[in-house]
Amino acid sequence: MPSVVRYDTSAATSLSDRWRGWRDSLLASAAFQRWAAACPLTRPIARKRAAELFDLCVGFVYSQTLAACVQLELFEGLRAGPCDVATLASRAAMSPDAMVSLCEAASALQLLERRGAARYGLGPLGAALLGNPGIAAMVRHHAALYADLTDPVALLRGQDSERRLAQYWPYALDKTGDALTRDSVAPYTALMAVSQPMIADVVLAAYPLSGHRCLLDVGGGDGSFLMAAARQAPQLRLQLFDLPGVVAIAQERLAKAGLADRVTITPGSFYDDLLPTGADVISLIRVVHDHDDDAVARLLAKVRAALPDNGVLLLGEPMREAAGGADGVSAYFEIYLRAMGQGRPRSAARLRDLLHAAGFSQVRVLRTRIPLVASVIVAKS
């Protein structure tokens, strides 16, 4: 269980509570809503709020429209150019009418674009998705999350017995990883590998590794981040630490990439084992948010113990409140990690506290190109 209490039990009403109470009662009033929609000055705000609320109400339909396009490999099918509805329908084994509904819905979401009567091509978002296969893989694996979310209240009450997402990430069910076979870790390891290039681009642009001698990637999956680091910094020696089933996959992948001589691979669980020493920089990429505060505190202490004086911890993952505006990252990870059964999305400020508590100094939050994909923190041991 997370050790931080996140709710305020104080009965005192502050000035800001009273201001917000007044605002909420105004916004909840049907008469005010009618007035705001009619008044030319407030109409743009009223329309924006109505659109935002509409998106919240129907977001599941948007997601499932995208899921259908991905499942039918519609974007791939349109890569070479637009196509008529009859051909798309026959490829997808559905009626032309049903295909028109899907194409119209996808066009409204900018995934596709109508290109004449009964003919469709890629839309700007569909084309962007083709450039990043990690997104389609993420969409596919959401089938497990959405199945768990069929009854969201049961999930939050811990009454969902199937726990499909936890089975997808089996280390959430077996913390030591002892019983995890290669087959059980292969699906999430493949998903991480295909989505890793966009993470590595963002992290390594924010913190180039050219000044370092040896990188240990803890929870390094199949070695995809190490491969990107090796391309960026040809002098870098490489180390990887992950669960035994995962490192078996990494061993093959890194050997195929011609990096066998440059890398040392150590199987283990950071819940039970010490981390290997020898690296002057240790990375935790998309690892910390998967674990509760007490486990993270122990992991950070082990990272610090494995680093030399003035060694560097490089932490990269999506963080709360990093992307600005409505915080979709927080909403997503709060519910996602609840379904997975462990972990927390954390803000840079919260991570900074955990790093200081573990004895790290000179904690710096670095700007990244796309904070939605990952934010980066570096700290000295």
Between CA 284 and CA 349 the distance in angstroms is: 17
In the window 185-224, what residues touch ligand SAM (CB under 6 A)? Answer: 192, 196, 199, 219-221, 224
By CB under 6 A, residue 303 contacts ligand SAM: no
By CB under 6 A, residue 286 contacts ligand SAM: yes
Between CA 166 and CA 170 the distance in angstroms is: 6
By CB under 6 A, residue 285 contacts ligand SAM: yes
Between CA 343 and CA 296 the distance in angstroms is: 9
Kindly write out the interface string for residues 165-184 of this chain, putting x where it contacts ligand SAM by CB under 6 A and - elsewhere.
------x-----x-------
By CB under 6 A, residue 270 contacts ligand SAM: yes
By CB under 6 A, residue 333 contacts ligand SAM: no
Q: Least CB distance from residue 122 to ligand SAM, whole Å?
A: 28
Between CA 288 and CA 282 the distance in angstroms is: 13
Look up tokens 């917000």; give the residue: 20
Q: Least CB distance from residue 179 to ligand SAM, whole Å?
A: 13
Nearer residue to ligand SAM within complex by CB, 113 or 217: 217
Name the DSSP class of 276: P
By CB under 6 A, residue 346 contacts ligand SAM: no
Between CA 20 and CA 171 the distance in angstroms is: 42
In the window 10-49, what residues touch ligand SAM (CB under 6 A)? Answer: none
Between CA 206 and CA 366 the distance in angstroms is: 6
Q: Least CB distance from residue 247 to ligand SAM, whole Å?
A: 9
Q: Least CB distance from residue 25 to ligand SAM, whole Å?
A: 43
Q: How many residues does the chain have?
A: 381
Identified binder of ligand SAM from the candidate list 246, 248, 288, 339, rule CB under 6 A: 246
By CB under 6 A, residue 120 contacts ligand SAM: no
Longest dimension (CA), the chain: 72
By CB under 6 A, residue 280 contacts ligand SAM: no
Identified binder of ligand SAM from the candidate list 32, 62, 146, 271, rule CB under 6 A: 271
By CB under 6 A, residue 358 contacts ligand SAM: no
Look up tokens 């409505």; give the residue: 326
Evaluate whether 240 touches 226 at the Cβ level (below 8 Å): yes
Structure tokens at 363: 């904690």
By CB under 6 A, residue 336 contacts ligand SAM: no
Between CA 107 and CA 101 the distance in angstroms is: 10
Nearer residue to ligand SAM within complex by CB, 65 or 184: 184
Between CA 344 and CA 292 the distance in angstroms is: 6
Evaluate whether 91 touches 77 at the Cβ level (below 8 Å): yes
Name the DSSP class of 347: B
Would you tell me which residues interact with ligand SAM (CB under 6 A)? 171, 177, 192, 196, 199, 219-221, 224-225, 242-243, 246, 269-271, 285-287, 290
